[in-house]
Amino acid sequence: MSEETTNSGEPVRVPFMQRVLDNPFILLFIGIVFPTLFYIIWGIMEIVNIPIAP
């Protein structure tokens, strides 16, 4: 999948970043994991760690 052929039939390597940008499901993964980790999980950990008032 990462290989495409030119007119002459020679395989060319598609650059890594282009392969990422061409794959909607990798992008979907990044777009969900980043905010879930840095915003939701990290934020919730902080709230959970607030001590309960006696």
Partner 1 sequence: MSDNQFRICPESGLQFHKPAEMLMRAHAVVAVVILLIGGIAALLVTLTRWPAIHLLPADRFYQLLTMHGTNMLIFWMISFEIAVLYFCSSTLLRCRLATPRIAWLGFALMLIGIIVNNAAVASGTASVMMTSYVPMPANPNFYLGLILFAVGALIGCFVFLATLVVAKDEKTYEGSIPLVTFGALTACIIAVFTIASGAIVLIPTWLWSLGYINHIDAAMYRIVWWALGHSSQQINVAAHVAVWYAIAAIVFGARPLSEKVSRVAFFLYIAFLQLASAHHLLVDPGLSAEWKIFNTSYAMYLAVLASMVHGLTVPGSIEVAQRAKGLTNGLFEWLRKAPWGNPIFSGMFISLIGFGFIGGISGVVMGTEQINIIIHNTIYVPGHFHATVVIGSTLAFMSLTYFLIPTLFRKQVAFPGLAKWQPYLFGIGMSSFTLAMMGAGTLGVERRHWDMAFTNSALGFEYPASAFTLMGIMGISGVVAILGGAIFILVTVVSVFFGKSVESESSYGISATRLMRADPVVVPEGGHGAAGKWGFAAPGTFVLALFFLAIFVLYYAVNWKYLASVWPMS
- Which residues are at the interface with partner 1 (CB under 8 A)? 17-18, 20-22, 24-25, 27-28, 30-32, 34-36, 38-40, 42-44, 46-47, 50
Which C-beta is closer to partner 1: that of 11 or that of 27? 27
- Minimum CB separation of residue 43 from partner 1 in Å reads 5
SS3 content of the chain, % helix, strand, coil (to 5): 55, 10, 30
**Shortest spacing between CB 9 and partner 1, in angstroms:** 16
E strands of 1-54, at which residues? 3-5, 11-13
